Amino acid sequence: MLLGVAGFSNQGKTELVIRIASELSANGYEVVTIKHAHEGDLLPAGKDTTRHLAAGAKISIAVSPDGSALYLQEGSLESSLELAKKVSSPDIILVEGFKGSSIPKIVLGNADAQGKIIARGKSPDDVFDSAMAYIERGISIERTLNKLPGLDCGGCGFENCRGLAEALVDGKADVNDCTKQHTGRTLIKVDGKILPLGPFVDEIVTNTILGMVSSLKGGESAGSVIIEIDTSME
């Protein structure tokens, strides 16, 4: 889930991000934050990491007992979002600044901002409750959506799986409305999405895998089997 916090300087953007991140983290959610910085703020002249990047390094990582800092040669919101999703599995990514981006936003003050405006107020206090309600519902929808097949077949009566997920979270649908739920013995996921298997295919895949596993040492009496394949490895 993505949510931006936009506004002019000194209107409380950082305070709001910190309050939201603190509340969510205390409730067990995984939070990632991204902040827009002015040119030159991140890489002071003469620092070793600056020199590494100037020498042509695409990424420079500074490591200390207190933590690590990663610097990218490319400075865009898109590349930062992509990286955040690769190195973490966040429930939410909070983006401070970038008011011209298309992501949904909480806006402080009268700043113009692109994308859907979730709430607008003069101070963090004005929008905090609205922000938390939107976030908690959004995370629930994302978690529910991840449990659905992701086929967007419309068999449930909704246009897509997200529509069903929203209705489930709002108590307006039942999980049994999904006509493509996994009911067989074998579950296949590709990049996090469940692939539907008919009874015949399920039986073939199950018997083939169990047949191969049972021939391996230690696999003779397997109760459950998990196989992961990394297609990026040659």
Query: pLDDT value at position 183?
Result: 67
Q: Where are the alpha helices (DSSP H) in the chain?
A: 13-26, 48-54, 77-87, 124-146, 161-169, 199-214
Query: pLDDT value at position 41?
Result: 62
How many angstroms separate the CA atoms of 7 and 96, rounded?
9
Helix, coil or strand: residue 64: strand
Question: Do 25 and 135 meet the contact criterion of CB atoms below 8 Å apart?
Answer: no
How many angstroms separate the CA atoms of 139 and 178, rounded?
20
Tokens, residue 52: 């590494």
Q: Domains in the chain, please, with CATH?
A: 2-146 (3.40.50.300), 182-234 (no CATH)
Read off the amino acid at residue 13.
K
What are the pLDDT digits (tens) for 30-46? 999 999 887 666 676 77
Summarize the confidence of residues 54-80 as an average pLDDT: 86
How many angstroms separate the CA atoms of 202 and 187, rounded?
9
Query: pLDDT value at position 185?
Result: 80
Question: Is the whole-model pTM more than 0.75?
Answer: no
Higher pLDDT, 49 or 141: 141
How many angstroms separate the CA atoms of 195 and 24, rounded?
32
Question: Do 109 and 11 meet the contact criterion of CB atoms below 8 Å apart?
Answer: yes
Query: pLDDT value at position 109?
Result: 93
Q: Is the dihedral of CA 71, 72, 74, 79 positive or negative?
A: negative
The residue length of the chain stands at: 234
Query: pLDDT value at position 40?
Result: 60
Strand partners, 121: 108
Helix, coil or strand: residue 138: helix
Please report which confidence band the pLDDT of residue 234 belongs to, taking 50, 70 and 90 as the band edges.
low
